[in-house]
Chain A
């Protein structure tokens, strides 16, 4: 399970997009193809059998599309409403990941989502990215975790 974190995150994202946005057509994308200048970055801290964080990179057009679909209203720029809605979505995806991990006896908790900046990352034992292409734009998850010693 731990060796398959990529799939766990991919599946959780897939589920949440399907249930919340009615989007089922999503596919994996190589990280090199993920190009984005203007984005909403949200970090969700993880503690327990695995510790570290997952950074959700939502490009601005993806963020706006998500909120437009959820609200049925038109959002044209990123404001406190949009970042908060997208943060909650990162929280929900992370929650689904925890459930999948816990079904396989990996016990973790998550911290509330916070806006973050992409920094030069430290070294992590389990470090992978999960970039996804969807009908409403791309997203990329940076997974940075250590096993509890």
Chain B
């Protein structure tokens, strides 16, 4: 499984969203790396891609709201990282449509998404949890 318990922040809403995100990315990778023809994969990948475009934005917004609610000092910088990722996802899906579903583009996207997500949740998001713990506000989520 892609998700690891060590990624938990101790904020139930965010943890649940992270788990869902990892579950979706894992399903996406399984289709992307399966042995069936690209045409068959492309059909299935479309759904996941559409879901992720919506879900990622929603999750980032909730996580940013949480950061604001605890007065997290890295809020602006973190929001910028989120915005850059959303821009990248939108750019790739645009290129992918324009290229008439080029496989290499999607493989590239999968590789970067995987590494980005692991680092983001294992490193960047942990800073939020560390801050909440230091300030004694962990567990104060909505």
Residues of A at the B interface (CB closer than 8 Å) are 16, 19-20, 67, 70-73, 79-89, 92
Return chain B residues, CB-CB under 8 Å to A73.
Answer: 29-30, 33
Q: Are B119 and A16 in contact (CB under 8 A)?
A: yes
A72 to chain B, nearest CB (A): 6
Q: Is the CB of B2 within 8 A of A72?
A: yes
Question: Which B residues are within 8 Å of any A CB, using their own CB?
Answer: 1-2, 26, 29-30, 32-33, 104, 107-112, 114-116, 118-119, 122-123
Interface residues of chain B: helix, strand, loop or mixed (majority)? helix
| Cβ-defined contact, A70 with B33, below 8 A | no
Knowing A73-B29, A81-B33, say if A19 contacts B119 (CB, 8 Å). Answer: yes
The answer to whether B119 touches A85 (Cβ under 8 A) is no
Secondary structure at the A interface, as helix, strand, loop or mixed, is: helix
Ordered by A's residue number, 29 sampled pairs between the chains whose C-beta atoms are within 8 Å are: A19-B122, A19-B123, A20-B115, A20-B118, A70-B114, A70-B115, A71-B2, A71-B29, A72-B2, A73-B33, A79-B107, A80-B104, A80-B107, A80-B108, A80-B111, A81-B107, A81-B108, A82-B111, A83-B111, A84-B109, A84-B110, A84-B115, A85-B111, A85-B115, A86-B111, A88-B115, A88-B116, A89-B115, A92-B115
